[in-house]
Homo-oligomer: A and B are copies of this chain.
């Protein structure tokens, strides 16, 4: 064998043995193929920080890429973070207005220094059928057997508003759950509205004639919250339970890690909980 031929053969053999590293972009392309709904032209599901062509050492899924989550993910060797909610404090992750803010700057520098990439996976994980967030919630609560034909509806064993709130608090380990309505309200039919509930969402759910309780993540006091108060004052037998936004959606990102593992096998995939942000004084 001539020296030139030998070198070429060796190079080819090396390339065959070491396939191109899996990049963040490569992972997202697989997600786009697997999610089962057409990828939208208008979506917040985009890269939020880092270079998409960075080779991935591991993947962390989370409710929200808080600075604390990023630190824990990086320490665990996961440099691709797939987050359900924003990284930079607003729905569009626009940062121009606070480019010199020290907290933002420290977070952005940490991402860059540790070769991390952050991708948001919100619209399409909800759009998947079944909704990926709801799939995780149903799994965590064990509510599959209670599902009603209505979207996000459940028919539970008979309880009261206080009984249901206590059960959710204990199962989801919530420190700061909040409830509206008569604690003794008989409850069977509930709607689970994960995350932020706009007025339109809260109104639509509470207006269903046979719905006793709407469970939300969060809703503003002059929007869905006032509407729930008024529905009760109008004589309707209704209640509302606010779990907190993180608590209400986080199981869906644990589900996301399990789903990713079915088609990403080259690197470890782990769910990194953001956790409830709040506590209450004793």
B179 touches A222 (CB 8 A): no
* Nearest CB in chain B to that of A91: its residue: B222
- Write out the residue numbers on chain B whose beta carbons fall within 8 Å of the beta carbon of A279: 178-180, 183
- Write out the residue numbers on chain B whose beta carbons fall within 8 Å of the beta carbon of A29: none
Cβ of A176 within 8 Å of any chain B Cβ, yes or no, is: yes
A42-89: which residues lie under 8 A (CB-CB) from chain B?
64, 66-68, 71, 85-86, 89
Of A2-10, A32-40, A231-239, the one touching chain B: A231-239
Interface membership of chain A positions 207-236, coded 1 if the CB is closer than 8 angstroms to chain B and 0 otherwise: 100000000011011111111111101111
Cβ of A196 within 8 Å of any chain B Cβ, yes or no, is: yes
Given A103-B203, A107-B234, A165-B281, 11 more pairs with CB closer than 8 A: A64-B221, A66-B226, A67-B229, A91-B222, A101-B207, A106-B235, A169-B281, A179-B279, A180-B277, A183-B281, A280-B280
A222 touches B85 (CB 8 A): yes
Instruction: Give the oligomeric copy count.
Output: 2
* Nearest CB in chain B to that of A223: its residue: B89
- Write out the residue numbers on chain B whose beta carbons fall within 8 Å of the beta carbon of A251: none
A234 touches B103 (CB 8 A): yes
B90 touches A179 (CB 8 A): no
Inter-chain CA distance A66–B180, complex, in Å, is: 14
Inter-chain CA distance A101–B85, complex, in Å, is: 31
Of A19-27, A137-145, A241-249, A252-260, the one touching chain B: A241-249
